[in-house]
Amino acid sequence: MKTVLITGGTGFIGSHLCDFLLDKDYRVICMDNLITGSEDNIAHIMQNKNFTFIRHDVTNYIDIKGRLDYILHFASPASPIDYLELPIQTLKVGSLGTHNALGLAKEKKARFLLASTSEVYGDPLVNPQPETYWGNVNPIGPRGVYDEAKRFAESMTMAYQRFHKVSTRIVRIFNTYGSRMRINDGRVVPAFINQALRNKALTVFGKGTQTRSFCYISDLVWGIYRLLLSDVNTPVNIGNPTEMTILDFAKQIIQITGSKSKIIFKPLPVNDPKMRRPDISRAKRELNWESVVDIQQGLRNTIKYFIGCI
């Protein structure tokens, strides 16, 4: 039985990875300081004999006894509300946290997978965004704390791969949705669903012409697992290439929920990306992966989850 450490394992994506890997007969160690995660997300697996939860801040030295085969580094605030309220912590987990996790991977001779993000592309000037695109990021803007933390984490990961010969993988995650998202985390899917279920006005920033693409959580987790076991040691986009405007997405949420909500418009936040769509050619070619869950079905599943939260 192989052992995997998941940092940020009580978060939205991290907790789904815990479930998935336990089902695949891995021994899972979940590490989190609960700054944005929740023990509620792992309550159903706490009694599993192959699961261990350790409350720890990865910006401090990490000490794990015994063998580790894989380290999945998912610790980081990830929503705009979180990283704007926690700018220093976001920068520290991307730098010190990544350094500590990579040091542990080197010590244990474990394969390391970094959870990066489409935000490394900033406000892109090309569409869709391939992994070869270097991005258009404002390092001193309010979103820079997250964008640059992840860009630094990627650089650190590649340095450990080249200099220390650590086996590394980098996944660039595009907008993902599903159960266990926090309803008040500020991201567009929970925000729209929460407003629609309460028949409150859906808040669209700008004119709503900015585009996003949405990948269901089960598709993302499967893609991460395929990458983890692959030989691909350069960044890989994992996301749904189907693109839609935020305005159209708001209308779709209203239609699926049967809400009486109207749509209101507010000023666009600073450096908010105008386009976000992954080029998944590398994932298709190297991992034989692409998203399969239809947006309508994925949203129905997610809305059902949020109904239970309200």
Tokens in use for 309?
Answer: 């939260």
CATH number of the structural domain spanning residue 205? 3.90.25.10
Question: Which residues form the domain of 101?
Answer: 3-176+215-240+278-287
Residue 181 covered by a domain: no
CA pair distance 170, 249, nearest whole angstrom: 29
Peptide bond into 128 cis (omega under 30): yes
292 in helix, strand or coil? coil
Q: Model pTM? A: 0.96
Mean pLDDT of the chain: 96
Residue 309 reports pLDDT greater than 90: no
Residue with tokens 């949405």: 214
* Residue 137 and residue 262 share a domain: no
* Residue 48 and residue 196 share a domain: no
Active-site residue set:
146
* Residue 282 and residue 272 share a domain: no
pLDDT tens for 52-77 read: 999 999 999 999 999 999 999 999 99
pLDDT at 293: 97
CA pair distance 289, 224, nearest whole angstrom: 10
Neighbours of 60 (CB within 10 A): 12
Residue 310 reports pLDDT greater than 80: no
* Residue 49 and residue 159 share a domain: yes
Residue 182 covered by a domain: no
* Residue 70 and residue 206 share a domain: no
Residue 40 covered by a domain: yes
pLDDT band at 163 (very low <50, low <70, confident <90, very high): very high
Residue 53 covered by a domain: yes
* Residue 260 and residue 140 share a domain: no
Q: Residue range 167-188: average pLDDT?
A: 94
Cα distances (angstroms) measured from residue 240 to each of 171, 173, 277 = 14, 10, 8
* Residue 168 and residue 24 share a domain: yes
* Residue 222 and residue 206 share a domain: no
| Long-range Cβ pairs for the range 188-194 (8 Å, 24+) | 188/212, 188/246, 188/249, 189/214, 189/302, 190/306, 192/249, 192/250, 192/253, 193/253, 193/257, 193/302, 193/303, 193/306, 194/306, 194/310
Number of domains in the chain: 2
Which residues, including other chains, have CB under 8 Å from residue 163's CB and lie 6 or more apart?
A: none
* Residue 122 and residue 29 share a domain: yes
Cα distances (angstroms) measured from residue 13 to each of 135, 179, 262 = 24, 9, 31
pLDDT tens for 228-279 read: 999 999 999 999 999 999 999 999 999 999 999 999 999 988 888 899 999 9
Nearest by Cα to 293 from 196, 119, 177: 177
What phi, psi does 136 have (nearest 5°)? -135, 85
CA pair distance 10, 42, nearest whole angstrom: 6
* Residue 203 and residue 95 share a domain: no
Residue 198 covered by a domain: yes
Residue 95 covered by a domain: yes
pLDDT at 186: 84
pLDDT tens for 81-105 read: 999 999 999 999 999 999 999 999 9
* Residue 251 and residue 172 share a domain: no
